[in-house]
Amino acid sequence: MISRAQTLARAASLRAGFEAAGAIPAETPVLQPADTLLDLYGEEIRARAYVTSDALRGEQMLRPDFTVPVVQMHMAGGAEPARYTYSGEVFRRQEHDPDRASEYIQVGYEVFDRTDPAAADAEVFALFSDAVSGLNLRSVMGDIGFLMDAVQGLRTTDARKAALQRHIWRPRRFRALLDRFAGRTEISPARAALLSGEAALCEAPHTGRRTGQEIETRIAALRADAAADPLSAEEVGLLDALLNVRETLPFALEQLRDLAVDLTSVAPAAERLAARTEALEKRGVDVAALPFEASFGRTSMEYYDGMVFGFFSADRPDLPPVATGGRYDALTRRLGGGAEIPAVGGVLRPGLMLELEGAL
């Protein structure tokens, strides 16, 4: 059994390593204002976080991770460029998987630097690769930016693009929307009646706290969507081909560049990946053996919008990832009040590292 003292000691060692790489220590409160997280992720975050409240501070959440408060701290007055490291408890509800820990120690490293994003990506990945070396982990890299750019380039309405963008991190919902927008799913009789105007507003169910005006606006949006041309089979096929890219990094880059000939909106993302590949090689990463999956990262925290990566136990597939991270430029824009800076980082779980070491 790994003791808390052992975990804290390993966390301190990892944090010291990040400080040696140029990071300064960052501290954040265990209780975080809930309104920021709700604004970012909507009410669905409640299913993953512990919520409390009091009369003075209002609704609060036990810290689900460190990235959001570190970004807030930096955007409130941090110097550029900046590197931060931190360690402490995070809290995640595990109602669907009681075997997973709901409280654990996390150690992180974050980079805010607009000079060379590809080099910053490589810096973070290489540091984490070094930190977990010797644990017999499998690594995987992805890039959420490809799918985001592909959706933005679709020949369809802005409303449909926005809906798909919102659900990039919910693969089943994304697929259901894609099939609906492509005309591949049947419309229920009740919805067909609403869209045709045969059903009156009073016949629509008034659920939750929606007003009649809100329901009317929603019906109008549904009718506008039904009137739009379906997504073409060619575009849906290209999206499927993109999501199915699963190769070692050099071959994945080749496939993605080929796709960019027809799916032109992803061409910039392909060139960013090429620059990142070169930067990784300069850092000594064996890119020829590095797996790349275009769909990787779609079930992680929803602020990633570029490179994503993970390190998993090759011997214990039942365990959660030992390390994860990625790029989150858009989050700095959301929390920066108009300011923004390219940012990338990751987190490690020292408790899992010790558990795996004990099994070697």
Does the pTM exceed 0.85?
Answer: yes
Q: pLDDT band at 197, cuts 50/70/90?
A: low
Mean pLDDT of the chain: 89
Tokens standing for residue 44: 């669905």
With pLDDT > 70 as the criterion, what percentage of the chain qualifies?
Answer: 88
Question: Is the distance from CB of 349 to CB of 105 less than 8 angstroms?
Answer: yes
DSSP 321: P
Helix ranges restricted to H, the chain: 4-20, 34-41, 67-75, 117-131, 144-152, 158-166, 171-181, 189-196, 212-227, 233-243, 249-262, 267-282, 329-335, 350-359
Through-space distance between the first and last CA atoms of the chain, rounded to whole angstroms: 15
Higher per-residue confidence, 282 vs 183: 282
Rounded Cα–Cα distance for residues 10 and 353 (Å):
9
Q: What is the pLDDT of residue 36?
A: 85
Q: What is the pLDDT of residue 269?
A: 97
Which of 230, 307, 304, 315 shows the shortest CA–CA distance to 274?
A: 307
With pLDDT > 90 as the criterion, what percentage of the chain qualifies?
Answer: 69
Q: Which strands, in side-by-side order, build the sheet including 323-327?
A: 24-25, 82-91, 103-112, 343-348, 323-327, 307-313, 137-143, 291-293, 246-248
Residue 223 has pLDDT above 80, yes or no: no
Tokens 């960019």 identify what position?
260
Sign of the alpha-carbon torsion through 120, 121, 122, 126: positive
Compute the C-alpha angle 349/93/99, nearest 5°. 65
User: If DSSP codes are grouped into helix, strand and coil, which group holds residue 157?
Assistant: coil
Rounded Cα–Cα distance for residues 360 and 352 (Å):
13
> Across residues 241-245, what is the average pLDDT?
97
Residue 140 has pLDDT above 80, yes or no: yes
Q: What is the pLDDT of residue 48?
A: 78
Higher per-residue confidence, 187 vs 264: 264
Q: What is the pLDDT of residue 216?
A: 66
pLDDT tens-digit readout, 259-268: 999 999 999 9
Q: pLDDT band at 173, cuts 50/70/90?
A: very high
Q: pLDDT band at 220, cuts 50/70/90?
A: low
Q: What is the pLDDT of residue 337?
A: 82
Which of 139, 171, 157 shows the shortest CA–CA distance to 221?
A: 157
φ/ψ of 107, rounded to 5, equals: -120, 135
